[in-house]
Chain A
Amino acid sequence: MKAKSNIPKVAFDLFALQLAWSFWFMVFVLLAYLVMLAIGSAHSDFLNFAYRPAKGYMLVIGISSASSFLTFYVKHGVTRRDCFAGSAIASVLHAATLAAILGIGTGLQHLLFQPPSQASALLDVRESWLSALLIFGINILTYYVAGWLISVGFYRNGWPLGIGFIALALLIVAAANIFWESDLQGRLSRLLPLDPSGIPPHISYLGTIVMLGLALAIIRLCTRRIVIRMK
Chain B
Amino acid sequence: MRLDVEVNGVTLKYGAFEALHNISFRLESGKICGLVGRNGAGKTSLLSLLASFREPTAGSIRIGGEDPFENARIMPHVTFVYAEDLRGETENVQGMLEAAKRYRPHFDSGYAEELAQRFELPMNKPVHELSRGMQSALNVTIGLASRSPVTIFDEAYLGMDAPTRELFYRELLDDQARHPRTVILSTHLVSEMDYLFDEVIILHKGKLVLHEGYEDLIGKGASVTGPSKAVDEFVKGMKQLHAQQLGDTKSVVVYGKIADETRLAARERQLDIGPVSLQDLFIHLTSEEE
Among A6, A72, A76, A231, residue most surrounded by chain B Cβ atoms (within 10 Å): A76
Q: Which of B69-83 contact A (CB under 8 A)?
A: 69-73, 75-80, 82
Which stretch, A31-39, A78-86, A96-104, touches the partner chain B?
Answer: A78-86
Which stretch, B95-103, B116-124, B161-169, B241-249, touches the partner chain A?
Answer: B95-103
Q: Is the CB of A1 within 8 A of B75?
A: no
Q: Is the CB of A228 within 8 A of B54?
A: yes
Chain A residues in 8 Å Cβ range of B52:
74
B44 within 8 A of partner (CB): yes
B86's closest neighbor in chain A, by CB? A231
- Asked whether A231 and B103 contact (CB < 8 A) given A3-B73, A77-B77, A77-B78, the answer is no
Measured CA separation A79–B78 after assembly (Å) = 12
Q: Is the CB of B44 within 8 A of A230?
A: yes
Q: Which of B49-96 contact A (CB under 8 A)?
A: 51-55, 64, 69-73, 75-80, 82, 84-85, 88
Among A9, A75, A77, residue most surrounded by chain B Cβ atoms (within 10 Å): A77
- Asked whether A5 and B100 contact (CB < 8 A) given A77-B77, A231-B84, the answer is no
A195 within 8 A of partner (CB): no
B176 within 8 A of partner (CB): no
Chain A residues in 8 Å Cβ range of B54:
227-228
Among B53, B55, B72, B104, residue most surrounded by chain A Cβ atoms (within 10 Å): B72
Chain A residues in 8 Å Cβ range of B109:
none
B24 within 8 A of partner (CB): no
Q: Is the CB of A79 within 8 A of B44?
A: no
Measured CA separation A2–B74 after assembly (Å) = 10
Chain B residues in 8 Å Cβ range of A68:
88
A4 within 8 A of partner (CB): yes
Q: Is the CB of A4 within 8 A of B55?
A: no
**B-facing mask of A57-88, CB < 8 A → 1, else 0?**
00000000000100011111111111000000
- Which of B48, B72, B79, B102 contacts A82, CB < 8 Å? B72
Number of interface residues of A (CB under 8 A): 26
A13 within 8 A of partner (CB): yes
Measured CA separation A88–B91 after assembly (Å) = 23
- Which of A73, A76, A79, A230 contacts B72, CB < 8 Å? A79
Measured CA separation A3–B73 after assembly (Å) = 5
Q: Pick 23 A–B contacts, CB within 8 A, sort by A.
A: A2-B73, A3-B72, A3-B73, A4-B72, A4-B105, A5-B72, A6-B76, A6-B103, A9-B103, A68-B88, A74-B75, A75-B51, A76-B100, A77-B77, A77-B78, A77-B104, A82-B72, A225-B55, A227-B54, A228-B48, A228-B53, A230-B82, A230-B84
B interface residues (Cβ-Cβ under 8 A, vs A):
44, 48, 51-55, 64, 69-73, 75-80, 82, 84-85, 88, 99-100, 102-105, 148
